[in-house]
Amino acid sequence: MIVPRIPGGHAGRDMDRRLLAGAVLAAYAAAIAVARGPAMWALAAPLILIAAGVWLLRFPNAWLGLFFTVAFLAPPLPVAFGNSGPHPAIAIAAIGVAVGFIRLRDWRFERSFLAGAIVFFFAAMIISVAPAAIYSGTDLALASLARIGLAGISAYVLFYVTSFHVTAGPGRVLNVKPASVPLALIYSIAVAAAAFAILDFYFQFPAPAGFGPQFIWLDTGVYRRAQGLFYEASTLGNFCVFFLVMCAVELVKRGAFFKGGASRIALLGGGAILVTALILSYSRSCLVALGVALAALAVLERRRINLARVAAVTAIMLAAVTGALARFFPAYGELYWTRLSGSVNLALESNARVFSGRIESWNTLLQFLGRHPWHALVGVGYKTLPYSSFIGQPVVADNMYLAILVETGIIGLAALIALNFAILRAGYRAARSPDPDRSFYGAWIFCFWAAETVQMLSADLLTFWRVLPVYFWVLGMAVRR
């Protein structure tokens, strides 16, 4: 007679554990199945979070793609906090920081002028938190520190791209690139964000959260300027310029976008959407920035540019955009071209009206420094000018250099200039690299940042924290080894 063997020892205990685990999972699944309403989602949430956590740890580049998607396409949460409410992209950034902290052994930092300039700039901003607390109170000082933290997401992205390497034991490196977010995916997300901005302007959807009060008065009514899911129209315009520069560099160099399998039709079609969104943002400084970036590209790649091709592509794109404006936004199109021609005439006449009231703000800040020159040493606190009456009244500087001088002092202004120089230097060197990918990303960031240094004269660009990380991602792709 054969007697069945009863499992015992370690094997029996392992089987008992598996049976118990199976029973627990079965009971958990049954509870989710019978639950209704919020209780069902509350029970299912842990499983979703565990799966997402495993995915993010297994693929260290996953959080970057998720961050860009959420930052470009998700609105702020409808919560009364800050200017526009907390944004879910902050949580994704926190996850990225956690991933980097968990894998501390995978960081390989290298000293460079660019890294030093970034550290110098953020140190100057952090130092300014002290005068913010002294002159404007602890609440504004904490808000200043929070804004520095938001800007710090971009610096973290840059260091993550350039200094994080996934290792598999001593002396071995896995074929995993933390920066390897497909460029075609990022471009598609950007075009989707611009397309929504166009629809938002046409249909005037209810604003998803707080937004900058920027309106256009037409005969048919009062319209909110195109801003899409961003806080203000200038952010959308700057964002569109960034990817339009990418289109121009790609057409000249045939770089990473075409290598990913994308077609020229997709590139130009997306470019037409970006141009339309840029026009609907009603931002003249962004148009000037685009012109500066394209001029920088023309100088940088003067030996490779085919003027006939450039003229043909430009004519086709402008015809498509002009036709779309004439068909769907005729009143706006007429107002826009009238405004541009009027701005050119005012500029030729050296009329201060072309600056839309910025001169008055600049005079207020300069007069304050003239009366209290000692504040030019360490400033009055980063990002306190629009929210504090310390200088006599709240002031929106609309000039990055002047705002940094008043808020962080001469040290901060020197740090900003050093940062701009470091980015341009790194981008130019990468653009001259024999490696085609580095050359593509280097030319992209060099031309765009050349425009940024000019546009900083009329906008606080470093406060655009939702789009700044993708700018620094391109910078990181250009300089990483």
Mention every residue, 6+ apart, whose C-beta is less than 8 A from residue 145.
Answer: 126, 129
How many residues are there in the chain? Answer: 481
pLDDT, residue 357, reads 65
| Mean pLDDT of all residues belonging to the chain | 83
Residues 6+ apart with CB under 8 A from 199: 205
Query: Which pLDDT band holds residue 176 (cuts at 50, 70, 90)?
Result: very low
Task: Supply the pLDDT for residue 109.
Answer: 84
The pLDDT of residue 73 is above 90? yes
What φ, ψ does residue 288 adopt, rounded to 5°? -60, -40
Confidence grade of residue 324 (pLDDT, cut at 50, 70, 90):
confident
Measured distance CA(403)–CA(376) in Å, rounded:
11
To 10 degrees, the CA torsion angle through 290, 294, 297, 303? 170
The answer on pLDDT for 175 being more than 50 is no
For residue 19, the model assigns a pLDDT of 67
* Cα gap 89→464, rounded to integer Å: 13
Does position 180 have pLDDT exceeding 70, yes or no?
Answer: no
What was the pLDDT predicted at 420? Answer: 97
**pLDDT surpasses 70 at 438:** yes
**Which of the 8 DSSP states describes residue 463?**
G
Per the CB < 8 A criterion, the answer to whether 32 and 40 are in contact is: yes
Of 108, 90, 116, which Cα lies nearest the Cα of 160? Answer: 108
Sign of the C-alpha dihedral computed for residues 225, 226, 229 and 235 taken in this order: negative
Whether 334 shows a pLDDT value over 90: the answer reads no
Rounded average pLDDT over 51-68? 78
pLDDT at 397: 86
| Burial group, residue 305, by CB count within 10 angstroms (0-12, 13-18, 19+) | middle
Q: CA angle, 94 as apex, 93 and 100 as ends, to 5°?
A: 90
- pLDDT greater than 50 at residue 100: yes
How far apart, in whole angstroms, are the C-alpha atoms of residue 432 and residue 425?
A: 11
Q: Are strands 215-218 and 221-224 parallel, antiparallel or unpaired?
A: antiparallel
Residue 407: its pLDDT value, please?
95
pLDDT of residue 215: 82
The CA distance from 164 to 362, in Å, is 42
Nearest C-alpha neighbor of 291 from the set 113, 451, 73, 70: 451
Mean predicted confidence (pLDDT) in 212-222: 79
| Encoded amino acid at 451, one letter | A
Q: Which of 167-171, 236-240, 326-330 has the lowest mean pLDDT?
A: 167-171
Burial class (CB within 10 angstroms; exposed 0-12, middle 13-18, buried 19+) of 167: middle
Q: Closest by alpha carbon to 445, among 481, 478, 480?
A: 478
Q: Name the amino acid, one letter, at 258.
A: F
Q: Are 258 and 268 in contact (CB under 8 A)?
A: no
> Residue 330, class by beta-carbon neighbours within 10 Å (0-12 exposed, 13-18 middle, 19+ buried)?
exposed
Contact 447, 293 (CB under 8 A): yes
CB of 70 within 8 A of CB of 88?
yes
Confidence of residue 13 (pLDDT cuts 50, 70, 90): low
**pLDDT at residue 1 greater than cutoff 60:** no
